[in-house]
Amino acid sequence: MTDYVESIKDHRKKRRAEFASDPLSWLNLVGLYWLEEGENSFGSSPGAKISLPQFPQPISGYFLFQGGKVTVHPSADMTMNGQAVEPRPLFTDKDPKADLLDVGVLTMKVIVRGADTLIRIWDREAELKKGFDGFNYYPVNSEYKVTAKFIRYDPPSPAIRIKGIGTEVPTFFMGQARFTLNGEECALEAEESGNELLFNFKDATNNDATYGGGRRFYLPPPDGNEIVLDFNLADNWPCAYTPYATCPIPPRENALKTRVEAGELRFKKSAR
């Protein structure tokens, strides 16, 4: 049991270290802007469509959004992926590797959510990030590591992933995990997420102890009809840390009535 507790603690330490060293972490986010057809100026001027005081000039350039494609036209010093800006449509987060645009202390990227195209912006020197010293967790509790019966769907069941910003994205439920927790019979739908299964859930702690928008964990699909669910590994969606994320809302099927007193608690800037 000691080995198990230490493995969870090591996982948490690694997550904290990776987050702290990442200049494009969720705490570095400072903006999320919907692109409109045509020119979308960006700069420190309040009159710019994308306005942040960190931009080096009142108008530092503009994004041209036409026919679903985005090009950037800078008037301030800017790099694309560390090199000179190329005169081509920008790769988005739906491509194998999105383009990163650096201007001053800011980094920008095009993201696509359903029918919407947006600009996400990080401040690599964000004050909020400088105050980060860790996440909050429940103590490790092996009672929240449970073996569930996995009911595989063949074929997968079509579903809709609803984002907090209102967009809807088609997805699939790949199966259902059935288990007993705190003496109650529970079930969670397993959503397709690349080569993994996403368990996106809410529970009775959301009202007073954990992030109200729910939590999540990922697992590889099981080979057989059992799957081990470890709620000690449950962490918050990025929306727990920033208003500029676009997190999915847990499906109504995954609202557990019991309290899952394991995994990550609500985020506090002064966490230790």
Tens-place pLDDT, residues 170-213: 899 999 999 999 999 999 999 999 999 999 999 999 999 999 99
The chain-wide mean pLDDT, for the chain, equals 92
CATH number of 26-130: 2.60.200.20
Res. 39 pLDDT band, cuts 50 70 90: very high
Is the separation of the CB atoms in 30 and 112 below 8 Å?
no
Instruction: Sheet containing 50-51: give its strands across.
Output: 50-51, 38-43, 61-66, 69-74
Per-domain residue ranges of the chain: 26-130, 134-254
| C-alpha to C-alpha distance for 130 and 122, rounded to whole angstroms | 14
Total count of residues recorded for the chain = 272
pLDDT of residue 272: 36
Q: What are the beta bridge partners of residue 199?
A: 217
Question: How far apart, in Å, are the Cα atoms of 118 and each of 31, 93, 145, 175, 204?
Answer: 10, 10, 38, 32, 34
Q: What is the mean pLDDT of residues 213-229?
A: 95
Question: How far apart, in Å, are the Cα atoms of 12 and each of 27, 136, 139, 219, 240?
Answer: 17, 10, 11, 17, 17
- Residue recorded with tokens 């007193």: 261
Instruction: Please state, for a pLDDT cut of 70, what percent of the chain lies above it.
Output: 97
